[in-house]
Amino acid sequence: MSLLALTFPMIDPVAIQLGPFAIRWYALAYIVGLLIGWRVVLWHIGRIAKPPMQRVDADDFLVWAIVAVILGGRLGYIVFYNPGFYLQNPIEMLYLWRGGMSFHGGLIGVIVALALFCRKRKLALLPAGDLIASVAPVGLFFGRVANFINAELWGRVSDVPWAMVFPGAGPQPRHPSQLYEAALEGIVLLIVLQWLYRQEAVRRQPGLVGGVFLVAYAAIRIAVELFRQPDGQIGFLPAGTTLGQWLSVPLVLAGIALVVRARRAA
């Protein structure tokens, strides 16, 4: 083990304990991310002359988004990452506090929910999607921080000065890949998308912000996967690739298609 390895900050995964009732940081991260994202959406609605949805729509969609993120994220993890285990232990599907959420599954859930919501409220899907996409990195940031607190989804073995020894990952120091993703998928991507969405000329190109989000997230995920240890039950795929990288390829293609469509329609 490198003498330069940082000590992992042991944080109790339970944020609040009230008798038998425990609130975990993992759950709080999702709640805080969704609430902050909702408030930013309301801020945009209040400053745009013709917003893609009204405040009441944003309030109502928050509930839809919560359900979509939880169901989509959990089902995505079950289907993409560990179907055999959950087929043998179906009750474990309900144990959300043990982790096991897939961003790609959550994204599919939110897209389906938004499409149904817009159809129900007679809202234009692409402009609404741009608004929602502009705040998505907020949830990504808090989710990755929660992964770090849970000491899960750690990185590959490394000798960089900021490498850490994660509990349960053996004695070797590893990349804190969760923090790489929190910084890039969360902070950097949020700044870029918020800057884009504030431009009126960009908002006149429906689908552009959503497309940029898909391409940028996928590119970041593909890159960070080079430093992240793949899930043990899956391991490396052909040519040293990972499942996270393969799941991100369709996002790149869909994002490019959205950007091209938006630019041609401008």
User: What is the pLDDT, as a whole number, of residue 132?
Assistant: 98
Domain that holds residue 29: 12-191
Give the pLDDT confidence score for residue 21 in this predicted structure: 76
The pTM is what? 0.93
In a domain, 218, yes or no: no
Residue 191 pLDDT level (bands cut at 50, 70, 90): very high
Q: Is residue 251 part of a domain?
A: no
Q: What pLDDT, on a 0 to 100 scale, did the predictor assign at position 1?
A: 45
- Residue bearing the bigger pLDDT, 92 or 136: 136
Average pLDDT value for the chain: 92
pLDDT value for 25: 81
Domains in the chain: how many in total? Answer: 1
Residues 205-242 pLDDT 10s? 999 999 999 999 999 999 999 999 998 889 999 999 99
Confidence of residue 97 (pLDDT cuts 50, 70, 90): low
Residue 49 has pLDDT above 50, yes or no: yes
Report yes or no on 102 lying in a domain.
Answer: yes
- Per the domain annotation, does 109 fall within a domain? yes
pLDDT score of 246 more than 60 = yes
Q: Return the number of other C-beta atoms located less than 10 Å from residue 10's C-beta.
A: 9
pLDDT for res 24: 79
Establish if 207 belongs to a structural domain: no
* pLDDT at residue number 5: 74
- Residue found under tokens 């990288």: 245
Residue 23 within a domain: yes
Q: Is the pLDDT of residue 19 over 90?
A: no
Residue that wins the pLDDT comparison between 17 and 121: 121
Is 32 inside any structural domain? yes
In a domain, 244, yes or no: no
Task: Tell which wins on pLDDT, 130 or 10.
Answer: 130
Is the pLDDT at 3 greater than 60? The verdict is: no
